[in-house]
Amino acid sequence: MTVKLVHPEGVNRVDVHHQVAETQGSRTVYLAGQVSWDTEGNLVGAGDVAAQAEQAYLNIAAALDAVGATAADLAKVTVYIVELDAEKAEQFVVGRERAAATLGVELQQPSTWIGVTALAAPGYLVEVDAIAVLP
């Protein structure tokens, strides 16, 4: 295993992600931010944060597969959500968990969530960039 997720003592424990990822590997993979597009570049889940989060993570998995990695190799993610609020955060988790179930992995890597006013193209509500570590 190249990534060990940790809930450290002395740091607030949150349910939606771990605070620390300890990695041991020789390859680091940096992914561009993934949005909820299909292979043709069409928006998936218009107006639906959960659907967009799910598709973004499925796209991350496909990108990782291209270099021989899986979502289990993720060490850190940064999440951008348009006009982030508590409801959108909850919907993001719903979509992320649907992707986790589809992929058969835990998606609770350390993460930073950032509210933004817009993403690169109209209609996109979620973007996730990621770092993975491989043996």
Domain containing residue 97: CATH number:
3.30.1330.40
The model's pLDDT over 70-116, given as tens digits with 9 standing for 90+, comes to: 999 999 999 999 999 999 999 999 999 999 999 999 898 999 999 99
Q: Which pLDDT tens digit goes with each residue over 27-79?
A: 999 999 999 999 999 999 999 999 999 999 999 999 999 999 999 999 999 99
Which pLDDT score, from 0 to 100, does residue 1 have? 64
Range of the domain at 13: 3-134
Residue 68 backbone class (left: φ over 0; alpha: ψ -120 to 50; beta: rest): left
Tell me how far the alpha carbon of residue 2 is from its chain's centroid: 18
Q: Is 44 exposed, middle or buried (0-12, 13-18, 19+ CB in 10 A)?
A: middle
